[in-house]
Amino acid sequence: MFDISPELKKNLAKARAFVREELIPLERDFLAKGFNAMEPVLQQKRQMVKELGLWLPQVSKEYGGMGLSLFEHGLMSQELGQTPIGHFVFNCQAPDSGNMEILIDHGTPEQKEKYLMPLLRGEIRSCFSMTEPEHAGSNPTMMSTTAVREGDSYIIDGHKWFTSSADGAAFAVVMAITNPEASRHARASQIIVPLDTPGFTLVRNIPVMGEAGEGWASHAEVRYEDVQVPLTNVLGAEGEGFAIAQERLGPGRIHHCMRWIGICERALELMCTYALKREVAPGRPLAGQQTIQNWVAESRAEINAARLMVLATARRIDEEGQYAARDDISLIKFHVANVLQQVLDRAIQVHGGLGMTDDTPLAYWFRHERAARIYDGPDEVHKWSVARRIFAQYAS
């Protein structure tokens, strides 16, 4: 149904082999010791990825990437998603990949030199700071953070949370109100804030299902108090914050969904290999139980269907743009997040007590990817927006 070039086929096979041989063996240590302890070895693996020509799959060749289309990167993302460290090692991890896109499309030459180039080289990390604890994130136009002009600077004040990967990041892209009198969608701007600027505080890494994490693998509560940055740190024009955020959401959702398909594939593999070898009585492996067989078959069907939906959506965005694909984007966002949750749940159940440990990546994914149904728009918001347009087709 979907043709892919021989070159992409070769690169996907290289990525698959790299994930199997170099990254999956690191998983147990990553889960036990955390991101910071593992960063030096992850940086060595990044060097190997650069030498293989697989660095920055989602970025154009002009900026040193592989130049894959969204559809092609979807396929790559599926390979990398099979381990929690895949995307980081190939430098296509959220939230940096979104910030790279914004800087490529809207950065000034000076912003690109100072922030984008070191990000592309993998020398620094970044974060995206929009959600606030005091307001419903599903309506991001409600926001208290302000950026007030004073001479040739902005003074930023605000309280954010779930600023993923702020711990150890060099800069944040902060969403702040710059034009309070403007219409709802033209009030905010995206402003680059180096995190060593006085007035920035990382309050805490928020425990997610009991795990605070660290470094790239964390989600921070942060405060901006009289943070002063030059006016030249605004991305695009003042008031364009939401328009720019909207641009990054379509591709970002394909990246997430195909990563989730990768997780599902690995969960199914773990489920099957374990069910084949775990005996409930001598000579009677779990794989012989009909309930387990149903779970395996249902998971296979759900994953295959989800993949087709995501790839078709990616192709539509590549060919017609994300506005034309907006319903498809909403459909895959909630559908694939639920397939993911279901498949992970079955895989954990098949593993019994082992499924609850960090001896496999299943429990880590179950803890962290529960959020798939919440970030980038909760399920209910996507369903509401799609249903409205479906009803409109039938209203006379």
Ligand X SMILES: Cc1cc2nc3c(=O)[nH]c(=O)nc-3n(C[C@H](O)[C@H](O)[C@H](O)COP(=O)(O)OP(=O)(O)OC[C@H]3O[C@@H](n4cnc5c(N)ncnc54)[C@H](O)[C@@H]3O)c2cc1C
Would you tell me which residues interact with ligand X (CB under 6 A)? 95, 128-131, 136-138, 162-164, 208, 219, 371, 374-375, 378, 380-381, 384
Cβ nearer to ligand X, comparing 164 with 360: 164
Tokens 């100072």 — which residue?
114
CB of 371 to ligand X, least distance (A): 4
Structure-block tokens of residue 210 = 């009991």
Q: Reply yes or no: is the peptide bond before residue 95 cis, omega within 30 of 0.
A: yes
- Residue among 323 and 384 whose Cβ is closer to ligand X: 384
The DSSP 8-state label assigned to residue 123 in this structure reads S
* Closest approach of ligand X to the CB of residue 253, in Å: 12
Give least dist CB 336 to ligand X, A. 16
Which region, left, alpha or beta, applies to residue 92 given φ > 0 means left and ψ of -120 to 50 means alpha?
alpha
Of the CA atoms within 13 Å of residue 394, those in its CB half-sphere come to 4
Nearer residue to ligand X within complex by CB, 111 or 129? 129
Minimum CB–partner distance for residue 161 and ligand X (Å): 8
Q: How far is the CB of 228 from ligand X (least distance, A)?
A: 22
| Contact status, residue 159 vs residue 133, Cβ threshold 8 Å | yes
For 178-335, where are the E strands, in sequence order? 188-194, 200-205, 213-214, 217-230, 234-235, 279-281, 284-285
Nearest CB to ligand X, comparing residues 298 and 380 = 380
Shorter beta-carbon distance to ligand X: residue 141 or 349: 141
CA quadruple 286, 290, 291, 292: dihedral positive or negative? Answer: positive
Q: From the CB of 277, what's the least distance to ligand X, in Å?
A: 34
- CB neighbourhood size of 245 (10 A): 20
In DSSP terms, 159 is beta-bridged to: 223
User: Is the CB of 142 or the CB of 301 nearer to ligand X?
Assistant: 142
In the bound state, the residue with its beta carbon closest to ligand X is 137
